[in-house]
Amino acid sequence: MQVSIGVAVNPEHGSHAPELIRNAEAAMHEAKRSGRATWRTYAPGFTSAANSRLALEARLRRALRQGLFELHYQPLVNLEDGKVIGAEALVRLPRDGGSEVGPSEFIPLLEDTGLILPLGAWVQREVCRQGRQWLDEGKAIEVLAVNLSATEIRSGHVQGQLRDILAETGFPPDRLELEVTESGLMSRGSQAVEFLRSLKSLGIKLALDDFGTGYSSLAYLRRFPVDKLKIDRSFIRYVPDETGDMQLVATIVAMARGFGLRVQAEGVETEAQRLFLKKLGCDLWQGYLCSPPLPAAAFADRFLSSTGLRMRMRRDISTMQAKAGYTERQLSPVIDNLMRIAAFFAPFWTDPTKINNTYLCTR
Ligand code: C2E
Ligand code: CA
Ligand code: CA
C-alpha cells in the first residue's frame, strides 16, 4: 500500500475545520498527482486543480451512467509480412462539449474513485462483443488486446468477470489478450503469479505492457506466465538517434527470445524505427506509422479482410469458370493474385491519402 499525505495548517491555510479539511484534501490529491507515496503542503493553486478534478470526475460519472465512452482500435502489425493481425482497444471519452481529455489523464482518476471497475467491465464486454461480431462477419481477427489497470488487478474480480463475459459473448478466449503492467502486478504482491495463472486457465493470452519502465526483473519474467512483452513507446521514440535506447530495445528483444516470448513495439512513427525493429527480429509493432487508434467501423473498414468476401468472390469466379470450361487448378493462382491485388488497393478506393502507409500494414 502507498500513502499520499496532504497538509493544511491553521491559520495560513484556513480559519475553520471544513476549509482546512478541503485544503488538506486538495494537497493530498496534488501528492497523488506527483507520483503518490509522497506529501504536499497546501498552496492556493491546488484549489483550482482540485476544482478541475471534481469537474472531470462529474463528467466521467455522467459518461459512465449514460454509456458515452467509446473504444478505438489501433492495428497490431506483423513485422515479417506487414499483415494486420488484430488491435489494441483504447478507451476514449467523447468531448461532449468539454475539452479533449485522454486516458492518461482520466484513467488515474477513474482508479482513485473506483469507477475503473465498471468501466473496465464495460471495455472487456464491448471488446468481446465486437470481436465476436467481426468473426461472425468473416473478418480475420487473431487478437484483440485490452488494458487492465492496477485497481482491477487488485480487485480480485477480473477472472470471474472475464469467464462470464467470454461465455456470454462467445468470443474465443485465445484471441483475447490482456495487457498488464509490472507495477500493476506488484499490487498483488506474492499472489501475482497465481493471479496470472488463473487468467491463463481461461485460455486467454497475457502481455506485459510498458516493459522496461518498471521493475523489469529477470526473476519475475521467468516466473510470470506471459506470452508477450510490449516495449514501451519511450524507448522507441529516439530510435535511431539514441544508441542507448537502441541497445536497450535490442536487449529486450533478445531477452524475449531467450524466454520464448513474443515481442511487440509500440509508438512506431517512422520507417527507420520499423526497419530497425525488423532487423532485430521483433515480432509485432503498432504506431502512427500504420495508423492511430480508430473507431471500430473505420478500423474494420480499413484493416479487416473479410473471408466472407473472399468466399463470395470464389463462388462467383467458380460460376464463371464452369461457363468458360477452365479447371479449379488452372484458375487457383489467378484467384489468389486477384484477391491480393483487391486487398492491397481496397483502402485507396475510398481514400487515396492512405497510399503512404498502407504498403507497411496491409489487410
Ligand atoms: P498504453 O497501454 O501504453 O497504450 C499506448 C498509447 O500509445 C495509446 O495512448 C496510443 O494511442 C499511443 N500510441 C500508439 N502509437 C503511438 C505513436 O506512434 N505515437 C504516439 N505519440 N502515441 C502512440 P492512449 O490511447 O492515449 O492511452 C494512454 C494510456 O491509457 C494507455 O497506454 C493505457 O495505459 C491507458 N488506457 C487506455 N485505454 C485503457 C483501457 O481501456 N483500460 C485501462 N485500464 N487503461 C487504458
Ligand atoms: Ca497497452
Ligand atoms: Ca506504453
Whether the pLDDT of residue 218 is over 50: the answer is: yes
Residue nearest atom 42 in ligand 1 by C-alpha distance: 147
Rounded-to-integer distance, Cα 55 and Cα 260, Å: 47
* Domains by residue range for the chain, with CATH: 5-61 (no CATH), 67-302 (3.20.20.450), 306-357 (no CATH)
> Percent of the chain beyond pLDDT 70?
85
Which residue's alpha carbon is nearest to atom 44 within ligand 1? 149
Selection from 264, 278, 258, 271 nearest residue 235 by Cα: 264
Confidence band (pLDDT; 50, 70, 90) for 155?
A: very high
User: What band does 200 get if pLDDT is binned at 50, 70 and 90?
Assistant: very high
Mean pLDDT of the chain: 88
Measured in whole angstroms, the distance separating CA 282 from the mean position of its chain's CA atoms is: 18
Cα(276)–Cα(291) distance, integer angstroms: 19
Local confidence band at 231 (pLDDT 50, 70, 90 cut-offs):
very high
Q: What single-letter DSSP state applies at residue 98?
A: S
Distance CA 356, CA 353 (A): 7
State the chain's maximal CA–CA distance in angstroms: 97
Ligand 2 midpoint to CA 70 (Å) = 16
Ligand 1 geometric centre to CA of 61 (Å): 21
Comparing CA positions, the residue from 303, 266, 264, 269 lying closest to residue 289 is 269
Q: How confident is the model at residue 353 (pLDDT cuts 50, 70, 90)?
A: very low
Rounded distance, CA 84 to CA 23, Å? 50
Q: What is the mean pLDDT of residues 290-313?
A: 83
Instruction: Please give the distance, rounded to the nearest whole angstrom, from the Cα atom of residue 106 to the centre of ligand 1.
Output: 12
The C-alpha atoms of residue 84 and residue 224 are separated, in whole angstroms, by 27
| pLDDT value, residue 361 | 73
To test the pocket of ligand 1, the residue of 266, 274, 289, 357 to mutate (highest count of ligand atoms within 8 Å of its CB) is 266
Positive or negative: CA dihedral 272, 277, 280, 283: negative
- Collect all residues with Cβ–Cβ distance below 8 Å to 60 and sequence separation of at least 6: 93, 106, 109, 110, 113, 115
Q: What is the pLDDT of residue 46?
A: 82
Reply yes or no on whether the pLDDT at 355 is more than 60. Answer: no
Identify whether the C-beta of residue 246 lies closer than 8 Å to the C-beta of residue 236: no
Lowest mean pLDDT among 27-31, 173-177, 307-311: 307-311
| 49-53, 160-164, 215-219: segment of lowest average pLDDT | 215-219
Listed residue (264, 259, 231) closest to 245, CA to CA = 231
Give pLDDT, residue 212: 85
Q: For residue 120, which atom of ligand 1 is closest to its CA?
A: 42
Please report the atom of ligand 1 found closest to the CA of residue 268: 18
Look at residue 51 in the predicted model and tell me its pLDDT: 85
Q: Give the separation between CA 146 and CA 164, rounded to whole angstroms.
A: 16
Atom of ligand 1 nearest to the CA of 293: 11
Q: Which helix (H) or strand (E) holds 10?
A: none
Contact residues of ligand 1, CB 6 A cut-off: 74, 90-91, 102-104, 107, 120, 123, 147-149, 209-210, 233, 266-269, 286-288, 293
45-100 tens-digit pLDDT:
888 888 889 999 999 999 999 999 999 999 999 999 999 999 999 999 998 877 89
| d(C-alpha 266, C-alpha 289), whole Å | 11
CA of 231 to the centre of ligand 3 (A): 7
Grid cell locating 30: 496534488
Share above pLDDT 90 across residues of the chain, in percent, rounded to a whole number: 64
Q: Which ligand is nearest to the CA of 232?
A: 3
d(C-alpha 178, C-alpha 170), whole Å? 17
Amino acid identity of residue 110, one-letter, is L
3-state secondary structure of 41: strand
Q: What is the predicted pLDDT for the residue at 226? A: 96
**Nearest alpha carbon, ligand 1 atom 37:** 90
Q: Which three cell numbers stand for residue 131?
A: 470481436
> Is 149 strand, coil or helix?
coil
Does residue 11 carry a pLDDT above 70? yes
How far apart are the C-alpha atoms of 221 and 219, rounded to whole Å? 5
Q: Does residue 363 register a pLDDT over 60? A: no
Q: Give SS3 for 78.
A: strand
Q: pTM of the predicted model, to two decimals?
A: 0.83
Ligand nearest to the CA of 91: 1
> Mean pLDDT, to the nearest integer, of 16-42?
86
